[in-house]
Amino acid sequence: MGKKAKTKKGAQRALNRRVDESIRPPPPPPLDEEIGSLALLPEPKVPGGKFKVLDTDKQGYDDGGVADLTLLIDLDDRVLRRKRGENDYFAAVKSNILPRVTNGQLAQLSRRDQKVQLATLLFSDGDVNADDDEDSDTPCEVYVDTTDQGDDDKKQRRMARLAKAKQSLKLSFYLSEPACAAMSLTEISKRTLLCYGKEGAEAAFRCAHKALQMAGNGYYDNDLILMEAEEEPKEPKYETNATYPGLSHPTSLKYIPARASMLCKRAAYLHAGNALHAQGKYAEAREYYEKTLPLLEPEPRSCRIDWERSAALINIGDTHSREDNYELASKYYDKAEQFGKDHLVVEDGNHTEGKGIVVVTKKARAAALKRAGKEEEAKSMWREVLTLSAEFAELMASDKTEMKKEIENGGANPAQGDVHVSENVIAA
């Protein structure tokens, strides 16, 4: 028993610090059981997630990445719960003394609400109600030089998203969320390449490389990471000091699940490859793309993950194509296209996303055919792309309408988890 309060004010303060056990969420699971979205759902719980995974040895539905997002956003809170114990942690939550922004507009928000803001900055590209939100028909994971594409409004939108990625990096540091900081660096890398193309490729690679440092098993320097949040990053003039352990450092793995590091590496490898691709360093880029594939092997056969698989394969194919080896490139395009076709041949499969994968792969193949001097084959492939793109656009419009209805009818029902963000994370 603790000491008894001597005054009424002391008794009231003690009462205020007491945590209501009835509203406390369950403790975080053991580290080896914290596998995020690798765990399938018995029934769909997110809008648009009505399609079962294609794995023959697994039954269930993909959660749309919600569990992975929650794991990354709530990582520091779970670490604190494991380190400090439940009572101390929730007393700190109630006293509002955990890391958070204490100056500016965000200071009015609780740590929990600041985390929802972080999720929105980092993981939300736009609004499902927007009619034209994407930069192009090709996902950002597939390298395409887009600096000369689009009108001024589209370019301004890209710049605004780059600014949001930099904001998320700053907020990640205030909230002491290293995994979100690593993902923010990867997002900055991606957005820098979209905004500046080849001219920004070196800066894009620098950010992706720093994300890999944060996710790795060594140490990193916080100041070198945080400089990327500046509008014009400049290397510090003083001697750097790498003292913070990476997410997969043995010290970190005592409290952090290995999946957090894996998710950060998966994204960073791909976009580091894109940055090298933009610089014409095709062999080096291919090495980074190839590192993503083993990390994707244990993942389920959902369209969300198959997009990642196909993007890596398309990028590898493109590097071979630019080295004048169309025959080898074609083999990678075949593999990428098959991921999309697998969803089309299943009666209740996700035909929209499957067709999208096929369209993007055929676009890459058409460009490769042209580079190889196979003009007639390239023209034929582009005609096929135009037909499939029109079909894909119709399916996308239909899916968007259906998703809006699901959201309006309360179709989103994400799994409940930590006290901070899980119940709101789907909104982001």
* pTM over 0.85, yes/no: yes
User: CA-CA distance, 317 to 428, in Å (whole number)?
Assistant: 34
* pLDDT at residue 369, as a whole number: 97
Encoded tokens for 208 = 């992706």
3-state secondary structure (DSSP) of residue 338 = helix
Encoded tokens for 193 = 């390449």
User: CA-CA distance, 27 to 8, in Å (whole number)?
Assistant: 33
DSSP element (H, E) containing 378: helix 375-408
* pLDDT at residue 21, as a whole number: 61
Q: Which residues contact 65 (CB under 8 A, 6 or more apart)?
A: 37, 304
pLDDT one digit per residue (tens) for the chain, 428 residues: 456 666 877 666 666 656 566 667 788 889 999 999 999 999 887 776 778 899 888 889 999 899 999 999 999 999 999 998 888 888 888 788 899 999 988 999 989 999 999 999 988 754 434 444 444 556 779 998 776 656 788 889 999 999 999 999 999 999 999 999 999 999 999 999 999 999 999 999 999 999 999 999 999 999 999 999 999 998 877 787 889 999 999 999 999 999 999 999 999 999 999 999 999 999 999 999 999 999 999 999 999 999 999 999 999 999 999 999 999 999 999 999 999 999 999 887 889 999 999 999 999 999 999 999 999 999 999 999 999 999 999 988 988 888 787 777 765 444 333 434 443 333 33
Residue 229, CA distances (Å) to 169, 226, 233 in order: 6, 6, 7
Q: Which residues contact 254 (CB under 8 A, 6 or more apart)?
A: none
Residue 361, CA distances (Å) to 79, 148, 332, 334 in order: 41, 22, 10, 8
